[in-house]
Amino acid sequence: MDHFQYRDGILHVEDIPLPRIAEEVGTPVYVYSRATLERHAQTFRDGLKDVPKKHLAFAIKCNPNLGVLRVLARQGYGADVVSGGELERALAAGMAAEDIVFSGVGKTRAELALGLDRGIGQFNIEHEPEGIALAEIAVQKEMTARAVLRVNPDVDAGTHAKISTGKADNKFGVGIDVAPEIFGRLAGLPGLQLRGVALHIGSQLTSLAPLEAAFERVGRLVADLRAAGHSITHVDLGGGLGVRYREGDNPPTPAEYGAMVARVTKDWDVTLMFEPGRVIAGNTGVLLTEVLWVKPGATNPFVVVDAAMNDLTRPALYDAHHDFDAVKRSGDTMTASIVGPVCETGDTFARDREIDTVAPGDLAVFRTAGAYGATMASTYNSRSLVPEVLVDGDRYAIVADRIAAKTIMAAERVPDWLD
């Protein structure tokens, strides 16, 4: 059951007609559906029904809104965080410290210390010096840091180059060939309880094959580490499962993913950890926008909307596709390019695409904007920071305010010596 439905020709999110949100909150605005979030959280968990010991950590980088995180906390999800800021958010949203995993290739010493002080469940160590630093800080604090070593399995995830993380020449993890020696050196350090390994090969994966190849390599590594006398109790399989952005996309379902995981890992006897992001949040949100102008172009017209690349950066950054649908559908279509107001040609959401016919003043949505949408927004061109709304049945709440350019400007200074 989809919670983004046309009723009487008007797009609703759950029971709320989108024109109401446009009128009361303004546009552009991200709108999320609580019921959809909950359903995705449950579907992902159900997919892993044959994995006996598991831990689910939502990759909060994809949607760190406190309201969204609270929904997932109530679904029993912990968090995968990559900065001190995300760590504080996860706690503020009600996630338990022991359910938090700290990933990221550039954790500072201050962030490692913060993680220890807050009592987080696990550090995913990216390389040997970071592990040494973590051990030193833990010893100073008379604490023990639970950790796993992130390995780079050198597989091609078959996704966009900018979001691929598991090839040998990517910056993430330690090479799987050198992992045993590094593991051996780190495992002996006081202050560190090195209990397993982690991997994450990329995002928006639309095939299970690279994941399976990577998991098999990690399975062999686990066996080698055990043969060398190490106790391996945890393996973090990361995130990466893709979602459907447009008709014809056919990413593996959570059930297919879960069945593959259960099969490949059946003899591992570890707690498996997962860091899903997009598969939980992607299809739970839309970016609601108003058409400002329809401007003639050399071939097709430009539909100029009030959302821009600063609000939804994925098309500009990764040539990503987001479906564009009119909130009130006439049934007619037009071929147009959809662009935002920012002064860059890159501020283009779609080129020469067949879309619902729209006119100035009409509302429309970009679909599948619940992951890596608002979180990647900026105020480029001194635009406001885009607000977020969470719908729950027939009620909604503004879960992030629109931050006006004026408010951002208020944090800037012109020093006296410029006068």
Binding-site members are 240, 275-278, 314, 318, 344, 372
| The residue count for the chain | 419
Region of residue 94 (phi > 0: left; psi between -120 and 50: alpha; otherwise: beta) = left
Closer to ligand LLP by Cβ: residue 39 or 314: 314
CB contact set of 392 (below 8 Å; sequence gap of 6+):
14, 34, 35
Closer to ligand LLP by Cβ: residue 124 or 384: 124
Q: Cα(first)–Cα(last) distance of the chain, in Å? A: 62
Least Å from the CB of residue 223 to ligand LLP = 24
Position 352, amino acid: D
CB 59 within 8 A of CB 277: yes
Give the sign of the dihedral formed by CA 307, CA 312, CA 318, CA 321.
negative
Least Å from the CB of residue 16 to ligand LLP = 26
- Residue 357's CB is within 10 A of a number of other CB atoms, namely 15
- Residue 328 is given by DSSP the state B
Active-site residue identified among 1, 227, 298, 343:
343
Least Å from the CB of residue 99 to ligand LLP = 15
Binding site for ligand LLP (CB under 6 A): 59, 62, 80, 103, 163, 165, 200, 203-204, 238-241, 275-279, 314, 318, 371-372
Least Å from the CB of residue 360 to ligand LLP = 30
Least Å from the CB of residue 274 to ligand LLP = 9
* Known binding residues for pyridoxal 5'-phosphate: 240, 275-278, 372
Q: Reply yes or no on whether 62 is catalytic.
A: no
DSSP for 49-72, written as a single string: TT-SSEEEEEEGGG---HHHHHHH
Closer to ligand LLP by Cβ: residue 64 or 191: 64
DSSP three-state, residue 79:
strand
**Burial letters for 181-190: b for 16+ Cβ neighbours within 10 Å, e otherwise?**
ebbeebbebe
Closer to ligand LLP by Cβ: residue 12 or 200: 200
Q: Enter the tokens of residue 367.
A: 């679909």
Cα 346 to Cα 354: distance, rounded to the nearest angstrom? 19
Q: Enter the tokens of residue 32.
A: 């999320």
DSSP three-state, residue 218:
helix
Position 286, amino acid: V
Cα 192 to Cα 412: distance, rounded to the nearest angstrom? 42
Closer to ligand LLP by Cβ: residue 75 or 327: 75
Closer to ligand LLP by Cβ: residue 18 or 71: 71
**Bond from prior residue into 28 cis (ω within 30 degrees of 0):** yes
Least Å from the CB of residue 411 to ligand LLP = 26
Active site residues: 343
